A and B are shown apart, each in its own frame.
Chain A
Amino acid sequence: MKKLFVPLTIVTAALFAYAPVAIAGAPYESTMLLVQKIFYFHVPSWMGMYSAIAVCGGASAVHLFKNRPAADRLAVSAAELAVMFGAIGLVTGPLWGRKAWGVWWSWDVRTDMAFLMWLVFVAYLLVRTYGGPGSDKLAAAMGLFGTAVSPFVYVSVNIWRTVHPLNTVVPELIGGSMPGAGLPFAVSSFAFLLLFALLLALRVNLASRQAVLDELYLAEEDGAA
């Protein structure tokens, strides 16, 4: 990943630089017009969050059942990113909803469940920070729980029909329901997923350095004793 980090950063920066041009050139949706363009950052941010949740869940399971510190470092890094990308989704959604639905928050099942899922990962980080010894295992269980919840959040919009658009809106868009919208969406999605991978690598590196530092402190204490 070290060798790929710089080239991937350049590719990601190029994609993010091109994204506004592509989004500006995208067609206007017939009923929501300009505000619908929030979609091109809103949906990719959720893709970033779901990717982070999947990584956090997998790594948490490995740490919980096989006690691997490296998996724990990956899980806590992914949990931070889940909170960060989730915050973008939770803020951009109401900004879109204010214009499209007339309210900031409609108490829609999808938005409420997404907010609760985000809170699970906020709680994960709080447990990691203030939980003390053993909190890594407790947090790993929370990470697994949050991951188990995520598919329900995804399908909620199809089960309980509310004002939130269905999940099918994305495949339809890619399939050409709104000609010219597929490219900006693909550019934004790819940029966000690459950003997720880069930030994860950066955060895992930080966690690894912190682990080395902890071992140095322990070695110093052992030496002083």
Chain B
Amino acid sequence: MKGSATRIMMRRVAGAAIALLLSVPLFAFQPSAGQESFKAVPIDQIPPTEQLPAAPLLIAAYAFAWIAVFFYVWTVWRRLNKVETEMRALERRQSHRGEGAPGVNRTSLP
């Protein structure tokens, strides 16, 4: 129960990792740039309309970095909240038990 959030997260990470690994052959079989039927053109001769714009790649890189950090902080915060909730529930259970029949010796708890 206590590690279920971690397990769900790890399952998602494992799923993503497996998907990434399975996609490796697709990249591996990409045609090479030096095929005989094509002719290379120096980059400075490519018209501006045909050039790959850099800005979207730059924005995507910075956006991904921020999303990754915020996502990680969110997962830690969520796990911390869950642990604190469980601790409070456990303490309530123990205090109820302490009022009735002798149960857990609370002084021995950390």
Residues of A within 8 A of B (CB): 20, 33-35, 37-38, 41-42, 45, 80-81, 83-84, 87-88, 91-92, 95-96, 98-99, 102-105, 107, 119, 122, 125-126, 129-130, 195, 199, 202-203, 205-206, 209-210, 212-217, 219-220, 222-224
Q: Is the CB of B61 within 8 A of A125?
A: no
Contact string against A for B residues 59-92, beta-carbon threshold 8 Å, 1 for contact and 0 otherwise: 0111011001100110010011001101100110
Instruction: Assess whether A213 is in contact with B2, with CB atoms less than 8 Å apart.
Output: yes
A92-B33 in contact (CB<8A):
no
- Tell me the B residues contacting A by CB distance below 8 Å: 2-3, 6-7, 10, 13-14, 17, 27-28, 30, 33, 52, 54-55, 57-58, 60-62, 64-65, 68-69, 72-73, 76, 79-80, 83-84, 86-87, 90-91, 93-94, 97, 103-105, 108-110
| Closest CB in chain A relative to B97 CB, distance in Å | 8
Per CB-CB distance, the 8 closest pairs between chain A and chain B, nearest first, are A223-B104, A35-B54, A129-B10, A34-B54, A92-B61, A95-B61, A38-B61, A95-B57
* Count of A-B residue pairs with CB < 8 Å: 120
Alpha-carbon gap, A119 to B3, bound state (A): 22
Report the separation of the CA atoms of residues A96 and B55 in the bound assembly, to the nearest whole angstrom.
11
Which residues on the A side are within 8 Å of B83 (C-beta)? 206, 209-210, 213
A96 to B57, CA, bound (A): 7
Q: Are B76 and A99 in contact (CB under 8 A)?
A: no
In the complex, what residues of B have CB within 8 A of residue A119's CB? 17
Residue numbers in B under 8 Å from A88 (CB-CB): 64-65, 68-69
Interface of B (DSSP majority class): helix
Determine whether the beta carbon of B52 is less than 8 Å from that of A213.
no
* Structural contact, A215 and B55, CB atoms closer than 8 A: no
Is there an interface contact between B86 and A213, defined as CB atoms closer than 8 Å? yes
**A105-B33 contact, Cβ under 8 Å, with A209-B80, A213-B2, A214-B2:** no
Contacts A88-B65, A206-B80 given: A37-B58 contact, CB under 8 Å?
A: yes
For A91, give its contact among B28, B30, B61, B90 (CB under 8 Å). B61
Which has the most chain B C-beta neighbours within 10 Å: A38, A83, A199?
Answer: A38
